[in-house]
Amino acid sequence: MKPISYARPHTVEQAVRTVTARPRTVFLAGGTTLVDMLRTGAMEPDNVVDITWLPLGGLEHTPGGGLRIGALATMSEVAAEAGVRERYPFLAVALEKGASPQLRNMATMGGNLMQRVRCAYFREPGNACNKRDPGSGCAAVDGMHRGHAILGTGPDCFATHPSDVAIPLVALDATVTVWGPRGERTIPFDEFFLLPGNTPQLEHPIAEDELITRIDVPALPFAKNSHYLKVRDRESYEFALTSAAVALNVADGTVVDVRIGLGGVGTKPWRARTAEGQLIGKAATAANFAAAAAAEMAAADASHPMNAFKVVLAQRTLVRALESVRPQVNPLGGAQ
């Protein structure tokens, strides 16, 4: 490992100033992604700025009924918070389904959004990878790509976005606030992640000297009726093959409102707007759930042999997730 300089500022302004002043500098929070990347040589910064002493932790419920999550709040802290569990259960479940307890105790919410893809060719220098080395090619096309994406793909890259918690957050229309030398700005969650296009090395619309300070989640009363379903090869410590974060509002058997995020299938956290649009105003039946899931997957890229199974698996995952939050029909009449 090559020598790397280390700084530990105590204010956001100092942290940003340090990154601005030194080229090839990255922020270090929980370290659960960055340290791996440094070890393999997939990232080679000259300097790291440890931000764990900055006052960016905590979580609060806002007067309007929303949630404000500090960038340095840990995954376990947010998952355990009583109000999150009651008002946004799919957020808590998605957090608990990610990584391992040890990692969740270290990993921060801001770091989770900035984590890099798990494509093995990206993480192992020596393989062609347009994301790590633009223009070098994509070793995954003719290599192992069982876990890769089927939505938002392009010829230059089809690595899957790995976060679980980003899936309910995109469904909730959360926002990400960043602070940098040009001041503060707030970015809608869906725009915080870029499709690979022909610049797969760019994953976010922020500059290297901008730091995530918080995530805001708007009020969504029907998110009380939500679920995160994750399908994976083993039940623990594994990334999603497919996942669905759903919140459903049904009245008299009709879908009044619905939010859907899909994971394991997109090059970014996938907001299933086609499926949502197709369900609103329709009867909350398994047949309509299946039709909406099929409509969402109509744009899926099934051209790669090892991951084409995800097109069907994602539809089944979404239908099952929606069925799990659909009000049960009372055989004596009415809904339970």
- The site for ligand SF4 (CB under 6 A) is made up of 117, 119, 121-122, 129-131, 138-140, 157-159, 200
Distance CA 284, CA 18 (A): 53
> Is 168 in contact with 245 (CB distance < 8 Å)?
yes
Total Cβ atoms within 10 A of residue 21? 11
CB of 195 to ligand SF4, least distance (A): 12
- Helical ranges in 22-74 per DSSP H: 34-40
Cβ proximity to ligand SF4, 200 vs 263, nearer residue: 200
> Is 101 in contact with 76 (CB distance < 8 Å)?
yes
- Helical ranges in 41-145 per DSSP H: 75-80, 82-87, 89-96, 101-106, 109-114, 120-123
Cβ proximity to ligand SF4, 18 vs 267, nearer residue: 267
CB of 166 to ligand SF4, least distance (A): 17
Distance CA 116, CA 37 (A): 9
Helices 286-296 and 310-325 sit at what angle, rounded to 10 degrees?
140
CB of 125 to ligand SF4, least distance (A): 11
Distance CA 36, CA 115 (A): 11
Query: Hey, CA dihedral for 315, 317, 320, 325, is it positive or negative?
Result: negative
Show the tokens assigned to 175: 């926002």
CA angle 271, 182, 18 (to 5 degrees): 100
CB of 38 to ligand SF4, least distance (A): 18
CB of 112 to ligand SF4, least distance (A): 19
CB of 200 to ligand SF4, least distance (A): 5
CB of 37 to ligand SF4, least distance (A): 13
Cβ proximity to ligand SF4, 131 vs 271, nearer residue: 131
Q: Beta partners for 180? A: 183
